[in-house]
Amino acid sequence: MQNQEFKNWSEKYRAQKFLDIKGQELAVSKLKNFFAGFPKGKKSILLHGPAGVGKTSLAHVISNEFDLEIYELNASDLRNKEQLEQKLKPASEQKSLFKKGKVLLVDEVDGLSARKDRGGIPELISLIEETQFPMIVTANDIWDKKFAGLRKKCELINLTDLDYKIISLILKEIAQKENFPINDQVLVSIAVRSKGDVRAAINDLQTLAFAESPMSEYLNIDERNRSQDIFNALKIIFKNLLNKETLRIYDTVDMPLEKIFLWVEENIPYEYSGQELYKAYEILSLADVFRGRIRRQRHWRFLLYQNIFLSAGIALSKKNPKSGFTHYQKPTRILKIWINNNKNKHKKTVITKYAKRIHCSKKKANKEFNIIKPVLINPKVQKELNLSEQEIEWLEKIQ
C-alpha cells in the first residue's frame, strides 16, 4: 500500500446519499421530514452529537438528495454579530443560481460567542427567524446554557456514537474497495478502539494500510483506554523517531495541552543540543503561535496544529533516536508563573478598563476592587467598559 497515492479516506468515502448513512436511521428520518415540510414549522435543524458521527456528512447528503446548493460556514470563524452579518446574512437572502434551492450550514456552532456585547448567538437566532432557506447547525454539546435560545428555534436531532459492529462493516467495505487485505479481528479491534468515532476509525484503517508495522500490533482493543503519564509521553517524543504512535501520544495523557506545552519547553534542553536544540525551539515557537491564536480568537481547530508541533514536530527535530536515561523535570517555576498569571490576568485587564473609564489610577481601582465588584456585574457597565467574554465569566465566578 505504500506506493499508492495518498488521499484521505474519511473524505474519499464521505457519505453521498441517505443509503450511505449507517446507524443513524432515526436522524435520517427526521431530516427527510423536515426538508419535505419546509418552510412549515421551524426553519433550522440542530444536529448535535460527539465528533466523528457524521453531522457534517449528513448536511452534504441533504444537499445531494434534494439538489440544493450548500453554503457552508464554520462558526469558529464567525464569532460575533458583525461577522455573521457580513457572511451569513447575504447568503440567507440570495437565491441559488444553479440548484433548486439552497441550504445553509453553520458548522461547529460551539465556537460562537454568547455574550451580548459580541452578539454571535443572538444574531444567528435572528438570521434563523428571517432566512428564506433551511439552515443546518451542528454542535458537539448543545446543552450549554448559552444555547438555550438557539435550542428553542431549532429542531433538535441527536446523532449518537455508532456501535462497533456497524463501524467494522463500514471499514470492511472501504478495505475491499482499496484492495487492502485485512482480517475481521483487526477490523473489530479498530472499530472498538474508535469509541463510536467513524472518522477516527477510518483514519486508523488508512494508517494501518500505509504503515509497515505488523497488524498484530492493532489487536489490543484496549489501547486507547490506557492512561499514559507525561514522563512516558516525553520519553516517546524525545527518544524515538516519528512513528504511528507519536501524533496521538498526548491523547492518552490526562493533562491539558497548555500544561504539556510547559513540560516540553522545560525538558527540550535535557535531550537536545546544537542544531537539534535550535530546531526544537523553532518548532515550539510555532506551537506557541497557534496557542496564541486559540486564546485570542477561540479557533479551537488550531489545537490540532498545536498538538502536531508538540508531538511530531519535536520528534522530527532530531536525526537519530536517542538512548540512555533522562530525568525529566517538572516545570515548577514556569507552571507557577503561568497559573498565577492566569488567575490575575483578567483582574488586571478589568481594572485597567475601569480606571481608564472613570479617570482614576489603576492602583486606586485595584485597592477599591472589592467595593466596585457589584457594579461590574451590571451588563450595562460591562458593555460600557467593553469587557470580553472571558472577563465577564471571570467576574461571575468571583462573586
Q: Which residues contact 73 (CB under 8 A, 6 or more apart)?
A: 87, 88, 91, 104, 105, 106, 107
pTM for the full predicted model: 0.51
Cis peptide, bond prior to residue 39, ω within 30 of zero: yes
**How far apart are the C-alpha atoms of 138 and 158, rounded to whole Å?**
10
Q: What pLDDT score was predicted for residue 222?
A: 43
Share of the chain above pLDDT 70, in %: 82
The b/e string for 173-211 (b: 16+ C-beta within 10 A; e otherwise) is ebbeebebebeeebbbbbbbbbbbbbbbbbbbbbbbbee
According to DSSP, the residues that pair with 339 across neighbouring strands are: none
Average pLDDT over residues 61-76: 80
What tens digit of pLDDT does each residue of 203-233 get? 888 878 776 555 555 554 444 444 457 888 8
Main-chain phi, psi angles of 186, to 5 degrees = -70, -40
- The one-character DSSP state at 309 is I
Share of the chain above pLDDT 90, in %: 8
Distance of CA 134 to the CA centre of its chain: 25
Please report the sign of the dihedral spanned by the C-alpha atoms of residue 284, residue 287, residue 293, residue 298: negative
What tens digit of pLDDT does each residue of 318-377 get? 988 888 778 888 876 665 666 666 667 788 888 888 888 888 888 888 888 888 888 888
Q: Which residue has the higher pLDDT, 211 or 246?
A: 246
Give me the chain's average pLDDT, please.
79
Average pLDDT over residues 242-271: 83
Q: Which residues contact 118 (CB under 8 A, 6 or more apart)?
A: 79, 80, 81, 389
**How far apart are the C-alpha atoms of 23 and 246, rounded to whole Å?**
32
Which run of H or of E encompasses 48?
strand 44-48
Which run of H or of E encompasses 74?
strand 68-74
Q: What pLDDT score was predicted for residue 202?
A: 86
Q: What pLDDT score was predicted for residue 314?
A: 92
Q: What pLDDT score was predicted for residue 67?
A: 84
